Amino acid sequence: MTTVSDPVDDFTKRFMGDPDPAGEPPQEPGIRLTEQQLRARRARSIAIALALGAFVIVIFLVTIVRLGGNVLTRPM
């Protein structure tokens, strides 16, 4: 079985050096979140999603209640 090399990857390795000589994922610059921070962020994200979902449902229900049967009344 032959492996096909990626020409872009080859070019990068030849002219800019191999960024991943040991086969490990490259280290991106910036803040790396700990396991606890990731868990907390995920929980907050889910809570915000649920709150927004509830907000949409409230707006929908109030719209239906306010319009009532008039929702079917429109100029033709």
Partner 1 sequence: MSLTVARVEPSIAGVGDYIALMKPRVMSLVVFTALVGLLVAPGHVHPVIGMTALLCIAVGAGAAGALNMAYDADIDALMARTAGRPIPRGRITPGEAAGFGMTLAAFSVVALGLLVNWVAAAMLGFTILFYAVVYTMWLKRSTPQNIVIGGAAGALPPMIGWAAVTGGTAVEPVLLFLIIFFWTPPHFWALSLYRTQDYARAGVPMLPVVAGERETRRHILIYTLLLAPLGVTPWLFGYAGPTYGIAAALVGAIMIALALRVHAERSGHAASKQMFAFSILYLFLLFAMLLVDRTAGLLIGHFVP
Q: What percent helix, strand, coil does the chain show, rounded to 5?
A: 65, 0, 35
**Smaller CB distance to partner 1: residue 27 or 34?**
34
Q: What is the DSSP letter of 62?
A: H
Cβ neighbours around 19 below 10 Å, total: 10
Which residues between 26 and 65 bind partner 1 (CB under 8 A)?
Answer: 31, 33-34, 36-37, 40-41, 43-44, 46-47, 55, 58-59, 61-62, 65
Name the site residues for partner 1 (rule: CB under 8 A). Answer: 31, 33-34, 36-37, 40-41, 43-44, 46-47, 55, 58-59, 61-62, 65
